[in-house]
Amino acid sequence: MVPKPEPRIKRFEELAYGMFIHWGLYSLLGKGEWIMHQANIPKEEYARLKHEFRADEFHARAVAKLARTAGMRYITITSRHHDGFSLYDTRGLSDYDAPNSAAGRDLIAEFVEGCNAEGILPFFYHTTLDWYQESFQEDFTGYLEYLRSSVKLLCTNYGKIGGLWFDGNWSRPDADWELDALYGLIRKYQPEAMIINNTGLEARGRIIHHEIDSVTFEQGRPLPLEREGMEKYVSGEMCQTMNQHWGLGERDFAYMSPRELIENFAACRKVGANYLLNVGPTASGRIPDYEAAALLRVGQWIELYGDLMYKGRPTTIKGSGDDFALEYDGKIYLFVYNLSVRGDKNVVRMTSGAGPRLFTDWEQPVRCVRWLDNDEELAFTHDADRAWLVVDAAGYPYGTNLVVRVAEVT
């Protein structure tokens, strides 16, 4: 038996698409979020970066507006990353935070205010690994008290939040992280918050505790979750960078295209998972131009399909290759990849891609199949005995390529 999702998990699945923000002192160096560790920078030297961290171009509402316009419904920001620097006011737990930096203010308070103004749900990434706090290595029990005190601040000073997204338990796989106490604290102060703990590149999709609400798929397309017999319904989320760094990489030019982002988002929804797509702001807090433009382009694709991308649910129907089907509002929708473009041979490079597409495990009768983007009706053959539906997937009109095209089946 598959358990019924709790309301917070159902709401999370319908958020569908979120922005991940990795921003902190490392952004000043422009070499990725792990630069302190990778370059063996002494912590005293690295910590001096806080005197240069001004955040003078961080306009939280503008960031939230970008996310909303791009079709995203939540943002997860690095309230504290592995370098131990906090974007929020730690209220005396440490002086290694944004109010004690050149910025001189609580950047998480601004972030939450900006999200709320734009109807975006704020989530907090929070490291569990800490390269700055000596207690992480020397007094782990004391460190965990510091970690819980930090999380309590996030749960009690910023109003209602979407969830906590933890990362770093993989650094000490044999340690007792006292997760009952950490997660119990969240349930006490933010009972509707999602609890997510990233299991890293080597353990995608792993559930590490009974309070976990969503598993993670870091830098890899999610797999369907086998929920039969689960203690509770758990959702899935793929987190991914546009390039090879989470934080700003000034000399990283290997960016994904809008095409790849659309394909990955669709692949997430195929299995009912969320897509958490990362941006690495500049040291001053501005979203780089290419990343902003790519997000907006993907948002234009999402607009074509509206609530289907948020509320469509996986089906047992199977497509060929990457093709798949979702169910929404009593209808079935076919997602078709790699269609060719129709046009004069002098301007169109003739490639395969249009033509018959097979969908199996199809039992219900079919009256009409049409592309959602232009209402063009498609020829089809339904074999009820074999439970096959074959659709003649017409190619794109010249000047059009949606990357993943959707047909509604009546």
Residue 4's pLDDT is what? Answer: 94
pLDDT digits (tens, 9 = 90+) for 365-397: 999 999 999 999 999 999 999 999 999 999 998
What is the average pLDDT value for the chain, to the nearest integer?
95
Sheet holding 369-371, edge to edge: 369-371, 404-409, 331-337, 324-328, 313-319, 355-360, 388-393, 380-383
Helices (H), 119-230: 135-138, 140-156, 179-189
Residue 65's pLDDT is what? Answer: 98
- Structural domains of the chain ordered from first start: 7-311 (3.20.20.80), 313-409 (2.60.40.1180)
| Longest CA–CA separation in the chain, Å | 72
DSSP β-bridge partners for residue 218: 239
Burial state string for 289-317 with b = 16 or more CB within 10 A and e = fewer than 16: eebbebbeebbebbeebeebbbebeebeb
Residue 202's pLDDT is what? Answer: 77
Which stretches of 63-184 are assigned E, i.e. beta strand? 74-80, 121-127, 163-167
Instruction: Identify whether the C-beta of residue 201 lies closer than 8 Å to the C-beta of residue 218.
Output: yes
pLDDT digits (tens, 9 = 90+) for 105-116: 999 999 999 999
Which range, of 202-211, 225-234, 344-353, averages the lowest pLDDT?
Answer: 344-353
- The whole model's pTM is what? 0.95
% of the chain at pLDDT higher than 70: 97
Residue 352's pLDDT is what? Answer: 53
Whether the per-residue pLDDT at 349 is higher than 70: the answer is: no
Length of the chain: 410
Which range, of 306-310, 348-352, 381-385, averages the lowest pLDDT?
Answer: 348-352
pLDDT digits (tens, 9 = 90+) for 105-144: 999 999 999 999 999 999 999 999 999 999 999 999 999 9
Q: How confident is the model at residue 2 (pLDDT cuts 50, 70, 90)?
A: confident
Residue 200's pLDDT is what? Answer: 75
pLDDT digits (tens, 9 = 90+) for 81-105: 999 999 999 999 999 999 999 999 9
What are the Cα distances from residue 252, in Å, to 243, 244, 295, 307?
7, 7, 18, 35
Residue 351's pLDDT is what? Answer: 56
End-to-end CA distance of the chain: 30
Residue 350's pLDDT is what? Answer: 55
